Amino acid sequence: MAHINDVARYILERQGGEVSTMKLQKLVYYAQAWSLVWDERPLFNARIEAWANGPVTRELYDRHRGQFTASVDMFPGDSERLNESERETVDVVLEAYGQLSGQQLSDLAHSERPWREAREGVEDGAASRNEVSPEVMQDFYSALQSASAV
* pLDDT 10s digits, 55-74: 999 999 999 999 999 999 99
| Banded pLDDT at 146 (limits 50, 70, 90) | confident
Q: What is the pTM of this model?
A: 0.96
* pLDDT 10s digits, 118-137: 999 999 999 999 999 999 99
The average pLDDT across 5-15 equals 97
The average pLDDT across 28-41 equals 97
Total count of domains within the chain: 1
Report the pLDDT value the prediction gives residue 115, as an integer from 0 to 100: 98
The average pLDDT across 104-115 equals 97
Question: How do strand 48-51 and strand 69-71 relate by DSSP bridges?
Answer: unpaired
Domain range for 33: 4-149
